[in-house]
Structure formats: C-alpha cells, structure tokens
Amino acid sequence: MTALNANELLNQVEWMPIDLKTKLIDKLLLSLNPIQNDVETLWKNEVDKRVTSIAEGATTLVSGEEVFRKIKNRLEA
C-alpha cells in the first residue's frame, strides 16, 4: 500500500459510522493477534472441567475475601 493510499484510507475511516469503525477495529486486532484454536480449546476444556468439579461438589470454594485475607496474613508474617 502506498503512502497516498494509506492516507486515503485513514481519511475515509474518520467519516465511517461508529459500528463500521468497531468492526474494522475488531478485524485489525484479530489480524495482529489471531485466535489460537488449540489454546482456546485447552481453556474451554479446563473451564468445563472446573465447572463439572464444582457442580459435583468435588471442589471446595473459597470466598474472595478469605483469599485476600490469607494473602495479607502471609505478607505481614
């Protein structure tokens, strides 16, 4: 893309409606950081495993307040 074409494109973007701009932004970001299906699949499997573990009662849940209290106690010791 030449500098002139790039400038024309940037000028056109200024006049685009917001919904088109957001679609363009999404597409640009995706082109910079493409979805890695293998990583996405691994995370989905991990989430499913954790949800099942909680639903079956195999996991003991701890409140956020308790977690932060324990961290604070460790740091103060």
Give every CB contact of residue 12 below 8 A, 6+ residues apart in sequence. Answer: none
Q: What are the structure tokens assigned to 33, written together?
A: 């950081």
Query: Between these two residues, 57 and 35, which has the higher pLDDT value?
Result: 57
Confidence of residue 62 (pLDDT cuts 50, 70, 90): very high
The single-letter code of the amino acid at 67 is V
pLDDT in tens, 2-52: 776 889 999 999 999 999 999 999 999 989 988 888 888 999 999 999 999
Give me the pLDDT at residue 65, please.
96
Give me the pLDDT at residue 37, please.
82
